[in-house]
Chain A
Amino acid sequence: MTSFIEVQNAEMVFTTRKGRFHALREIHLTVAKGEFVTLIGHSGCGKSTLLNLIAGLTLPTSGVLICDNREIAAPGPERAVVFQNHSLLPWLTCFENVHLAVERVFGGSETKARLKERTAAALALVGMGHAMHKRPHEVSGGMKQRVGIARALAMEPKVLLMDEPFGALDALTRAHLQDELLKIVARTQSTVVMVTHDVDEAVLLSDRIVMMTNGPAATIGEILPVHLPRPRNRVELAEDHDYVHCRKQVLDFLYTRHGHVEKAA
Chain B
Amino acid sequence: MVSAVFHSPLDAAAEAAAPRATPVAKPAAPLPAPAPVARAERPPREPFDWRELFMRVLPPVLGMALLIGVWALLTMNSTSFPSPAVTFDAAVKLFADPFYSKGPNDQGIGWNILFSLQRVAVGFGLAALVGIPLGFIIGRFEFFSRMFSPLISLLKPVSPLAWLPIGLLVFKAANPAAIWTIFICSIWPMVVNTAVGVQRVPQDYLNVARVLNLSEWKIITRILFPAVLPYMLTGVRLSVGTAWLVIVAAEMLTGGVGIGFWVWDEWNNLNVQHIIIAIFVIGIVGLLLEQMLMLVAKRFSFDD
Contact = CB atoms under 8 A, between A and B. Distances in A.
Interface residues of B, number: 25
Nearest to B225: A91
A79 interface: yes
B103 interface: no
B123 to A, nearest CB: 31
A230 to B, nearest CB: 24
A57 B211 contact: yes
B231 to A, nearest CB: 14
A143 B211 CA distance: 21
A140 B18 contact: yes
A221 interface: no
Contact of A173 (B23, B210, B226): B23
B26 interface: yes
A112 to B, nearest CB: 16
B213 interface: yes
Interface stretch (B38-46, B200-208, B240-248): B200-208
Interface in B138-187: none
A55 B211 contact: yes
Contact of B19 (A91, A92, A105, A140): A140
A74 to B, nearest CB: 8
A238 interface: no
A77 B211 CA distance: 6
B66 interface: no
Interface in A125-153: 130-131, 135-140, 142-143
Interface string B1-40: 0000000000000110011011100100000000000000
Interface stretch (A59-67, A81-89, A189-197): A81-89
B213 A104 contact: yes
B214 A173 contact: no
A83 B204 CA distance: 8
Nearest to A83: B204
B212 A100 contact: yes
A90 B222 contact: no
A104 B19 CA distance: 32
B302 interface: yes
B303 interface: yes
B223 interface: yes
A137 B302 contact: yes
A172 interface: yes
A130 B213 contact: no
Per CB-CB distance, the 5 closest pairs between chain A and chain B, nearest first, are A140-B18, A91-B226, A87-B204, A90-B302, A75-B210
Interface of A: 55, 57, 74-77, 79-81, 83, 85, 87, 89-92, 100-101, 104-105, 130-131, 135-140, 142-143, 155, 172-173, 176
